[in-house]
Chains A and B, each alone.
Chain A
């Protein structure tokens, strides 16, 4: 099969994924035919409520949760905000304290939310360090717990470097101490087990567009009894935990996408992992002065991330784009900020190295030909940029 460069080689599935055609079809009736408001009592409304509840049940089945523990939201960020702020405020109101434990490699949806609680709402927080692979140590979590700790929030898998955290173990520690435990599972959704009991989590965030569902819908799993204040108030939707008319089409889309992802999990993961391993091996073999970032084995099956010395990330992305390859970088120059990725910084990479980060995240649509094409063009791109770089001293 030849590569379609018009379409491009999409290697940024950690950013978003295309919606699966089967998901599109499952959603379609809910805009024009089954468009009722689930809160309405007549047949059209009841039909929408039925579809919404069926979506909730299907999702709960995959999470091994009770349907009443699933809260539909507008995205992963909203789920993280609701979990963290909702639990922190509710816990403090109960006199439990005001200390939060998190890690230094969280997505900004978690990191900035905790920072705001500290700066504007008088909470205290411990940002746990990570090792060179971006891994949080459960022992350090245990040591950071104080009598006034009200919430622990540690991501399931890292969006930049793919490292999978020891969530079940951290969850066990939190459970023993009776502290609510939230995990941002946005990057793990569709790739790793979401069994909330095996993971020992009380709160878990997901976003549909990371597993071939639509953008604009996410969910928060909230274990029964977990203190949680609503962050969006209004009607009594979602058992008073998230007001606002439910997006039935998107909830159905998310449920369908999640079901498909977990029905095909092993086969997708095996296929993607094989392609990813081919990509990592090829990059490390063909390009000198490149380091794999993140954990070598405890990483998402689709994630390949590197630091490429002597070149800057955005320059790599622009060059790849011209070759029809869509990739990502934690470089400052790809964002509005001037500092490089907080994740790589926490992992101990100095700024000039962190600026050369390159993230390639695969998906179920990628082919071996595409990977080989990347392995053909990437070495040339890096040689060209290195030849321009004052930092690069070619081996004599």
Chain B
């Protein structure tokens, strides 16, 4: 059901924890679906210099949190904003179809963390990006397909 890479990231997740003095914090998830995620970012000169997460969820939820925080470390904010759920799943060697939506929260979490960051520093918002576009999706967004 899961790729070896998913199992590897589930077994040895990278970047678990909390950044106490984070520049941005994102909280996304859906208790009905059973996945909830908190993501913490440090931003310096337009780049993510650190990212950590805490996730309540299945193997896929934990593995996507782990790999996504790995992927964005060192990326510019523009690069992070281009990241898709599919990019995260592809980096793990794919996810089972029914896990693509509910358990693949990391991109939403990162955008929510950026929303938090730019709420505090609206002057740093890149040209062409609106703050409301980064707002976390409504909580029930992922149950629509159920």
Contacts and interface: CB of A to CB of B under 8 A. Distances in A.
A336 B96 CA distance: 10
A333 B36 contact: no
Given A315-B10, A338-B142, A388-B13, A332 B56 contact: no
Given A315-B57, A318-B7, A390-B54, A331 B16 contact: no
Interface string B24-60: 0001000111111110000000000000001111111
Contacts of A310: 56
A355 B34 contact: yes
A263 interface: no
**A interface, how many residues as a size bin?**
20 to 34
Given A322-B11, A388-B16, A340 B56 contact: no
B56 A311 contact: yes
Q: Residue among A314, A350, A351, A391 with the most chain B CB within 10 A?
A: A314
B146 A333 contact: no
**B interface, how many residues as a size bin?**
20 to 34
Contacts of B59: 314-315, 318, 333
Given A318-B10, A333-B103, A351-B32, A312 B61 contact: yes
Given A333-B58, A388-B62, A340 B11 contact: no
Given A333-B34, A388-B13, A390-B38, A315 B62 contact: yes
Interface of A: 310-315, 318, 322, 331-334, 336-340, 350-352, 355, 387-392
B143 interface: yes
29 contacts: A310-B56, A311-B56, A314-B58, A315-B61, A315-B62, A318-B2, A318-B10, A331-B58, A332-B33, A332-B34, A333-B58, A333-B59, A333-B61, A333-B99, A333-B103, A337-B146, A338-B32, A338-B143, A338-B146, A340-B32, A340-B34, A350-B31, A351-B34, A352-B34, A388-B54, A389-B55, A389-B56, A391-B36, A392-B56
